[in-house]
Chains A and B, each alone.
Chain A
Amino acid sequence: MAAVSGWWDDFFWGSLVVVELFFVALIMTVLFGLIGAGAKLSNSRVAKSIASGYTIVFRGTPEILVLLLFYFGSAIILTAIAQIFDPEIKFVDFPPFWAGSFAIALIIGSYATETFRGAFLGVDPGQIEAARALGLSNLQTFIYVRIPAMWRLALPPFGNHMLSLVKDTALVAIIGLEETLFVAEQAIAYTAKPFTMYIVVGAIYLGFSTIITLTVMGLERYANRHLEVWR
């Protein structure tokens, strides 16, 4: 472990990048999931088929492929646009952080789409009818009735999606983001201790997974607090 001593601060900054990536991608994931679920539950045939195309493609292809396609694909478009203004420019890329978080959010968002869809369908129709009868508008019904009821059903599978999300952030090192795996590679080039360094990365991720698992457990207890037997 002595070899790691000079690298703790780098690993710390790398972990911070993972945390940032996680939260940015998480927000986008929830967004994509809600949009996807909304489209799948809508009456529009076009929206439905776009949404099912989305879930089929992003759940059926390797994560690394989506990531590389987004990173290099966006780089080609950006370079082409930049060359219109200045033909000297050889390569412009989308920042790996944004390409990575967008790609990961699209992937996990496709899983979230199915989860949210199922959860919305699981809400008792009687509750929605009751909200209507009380004169709540569509938006109010959505915010005060549907979302809280659906959230309870979606939380356990969504916890698993969050675990996949944090683990997928490791892939972004492949396109050159300076997160923990990238730090480990630099440290290995310097110390020639690959086992030690990668174990540190594994331990960091295990820590993140543990935090997420505990948080989801807490959230589940909070979401179901009214169902607990009063003691």
Chain B
Amino acid sequence: MSFDIELILDSIPKMLVGIGLTFELLFLSLALGTALGIFLLILRISGRWYLAAPTMVYIYIFRGTPILVQIFIIYYGLPQLEFVRDSIFWPILKEPFGCAIVALSLNTGAYLSEIFRGGVLGVDRGLTEAAAALGISVRQRFIYITSPIAIRLCLPAYSNDVVSLMKSTALASTITLLDMMGIARTIVAETYAPYEVFISVMVIYLVITWAIQRTFAWIEKRMSRHVRREA
């Protein structure tokens, strides 16, 4: 067994071609998942049991099953059902890319809504009570009082979730998508050099993780700059 440097130099550019797809999967499902998470959060804290209960069931199911199984159910499973094939969603669900986005968004939305809920629950009650005493409406209280503080509180957890979403995008390679992981697996199947190829792609993933963490650390610092005391 030897370490083939040439193969590494040869395969890194090939794998970087897939980085675009990895980022597309990440950003699209992050945007959709965040929207879904906020929607679920609002249902959850609405105080009406017939809105909150289905949300809790949804979160329980999506957090209690492996994301791989969810991807398989959506990609391989749904076409078995005729009404899915006749529905308007079929153009999205017949493509592996659409399925990956749907699965990743539904999954991350469940996790994010719990994170957001943690942030909202962390907001000092006195603030919302004071706002209520000032005659500010429920909606305005949520937008102008609760949200800005809650966002700051849940930012560290949010950043962790972005990293785990990024790691989950690699599972798209199991439904034929050629993201970085998919390309790496193809090269390994051709050359049978798992060490060289997989370790190179590992380094690329590590750099992305590092970039995500640095970005969020910077945002966190900026968002809490009024809290920090001048030295």
Given contacts A62-B181, A209-B65, contact A194 B77 (CB under 8 A): yes
Given contacts A61-B202, A61-B205, A64-B181, contact A194 B80 (CB under 8 A): yes
State whether B174 touches A206 (Cβ < 8 A): no
Chain A contributes a number of interface residues (CB within 8 A of B) equal to: 42
Q: Say yes or no: is B199 at the interface (Cβ < 8 Å to chain A).
A: yes
Given contacts A64-B173, A69-B194, contact A170 B66 (CB under 8 A): yes
State whether B170 touches A65 (Cβ < 8 A): yes
Interface residues of B in 165-193 (CB under 8 A from A): 167-171, 173-174, 181, 184-185, 188, 192
> In the complex, what residue of chain A is closest to B73 when comparing beta carbons?
A198
Q: Say yes or no: is A158 at the interface (Cβ < 8 Å to chain B).
A: no
How far, in whole Å, are A182 and B73 apart by their CA atoms in the complex?
14
Task: Type the 1/0 row for A190-201, where 1 means its CB is closer than 8 Å to any CB of B.
Answer: 001111111101
State whether A167 touches B1 (Cβ < 8 A): no
State whether A60 touches B163 (Cβ < 8 A): yes
State whether B65 touches A193 (Cβ < 8 A): no
State whether B70 touches A202 (Cβ < 8 A): yes
State whether A196 touches B194 (Cβ < 8 A): no
Q: Say yes or no: is A131 at the interface (Cβ < 8 Å to chain B).
A: no
Query: Which residues does chain A contribute within 8 Å of B202, judged by CB atoms?
Result: 57, 61, 65-66, 69
Query: Which residues does chain B contribute within 8 Å of A171, judged by CB atoms?
Result: 66, 68
Query: Which residues does chain B contribute within 8 Å of A62, judged by CB atoms?
Result: 167-171, 181, 205
How far, in whole Å, are A69 and B163 apart by their CA atoms in the complex?
20
State whether A195 touches B77 (Cβ < 8 A): yes
Q: Say yes or no: is A181 at the interface (Cβ < 8 Å to chain B).
A: yes
> In the complex, what residue of chain A is closest to B195 when comparing beta carbons?
A73
How far, in whole Å, are A100 and B64 apart by their CA atoms in the complex?
20
> In the complex, what residue of chain B is closest to A207 when comparing beta carbons?
B64
Chain B contributes a number of interface residues (CB within 8 A of A) equal to: 42
How far, in whole Å, are A63 and B181 apart by their CA atoms in the complex?
11
| Residue of B69, B163, B171 contacting most chain A CB atoms (<10 Å) | B69
Query: Which residues does chain B contribute within 8 Å of A19, judged by CB atoms?
Result: none
Task: Type the 1/0 row for A91-121, where 1 means its CB is closer than 8 Å to any CB of B.
Answer: 0000000000000000000000000000000
Q: Say yes or no: is A17 at the interface (Cβ < 8 Å to chain B).
A: no
Given contacts A77-B1, A205-B69, A209-B64, contact A195 B195 (CB under 8 A): no
> In the complex, what residue of chain A is closest to B72 when comparing beta carbons?
A198
Query: Which residues does chain A contribute within 8 Å of B49, judged by CB atoms?
Result: none
Q: Say yes or no: is B144 at the interface (Cβ < 8 Å to chain A).
A: no
CB < 8 Å neighbour of A194 from B76, B185, B192: B76
Q: Say yes or no: is B209 at the interface (Cβ < 8 Å to chain A).
A: yes
How far, in whole Å, are A64 and B61 apart by their CA atoms in the complex?
22
Q: Say yes or no: is A168 at the interface (Cβ < 8 Å to chain B).
A: yes
State whether B194 touches A68 (Cβ < 8 A): yes
How far, in whole Å, are A167 and B181 apart by their CA atoms in the complex?
20
CB < 8 Å neighbour of A199 from B77, B195, B205: B77
**Can you add 13 more A-B contacts, CB < 8 Å, to A77-B1, A170-B68, A174-B174?**
A57-B206, A65-B170, A65-B198, A68-B198, A69-B194, A72-B188, A170-B66, A171-B66, A181-B68, A181-B72, A194-B76, A206-B65, A209-B63
Measured CB to CB, the residues of B under 8 A from A are 1, 60-61, 63-70, 72-73, 76-81, 163, 167-171, 173-174, 181, 184-185, 188, 192, 194-195, 198-199, 201-202, 205-206, 209-210
Measured CB to CB, the residues of A under 8 A from B are 56-57, 59-66, 68-69, 72-73, 75-77, 80, 163, 167-171, 174, 181, 184, 188, 192-199, 201-202, 205-206, 209-210
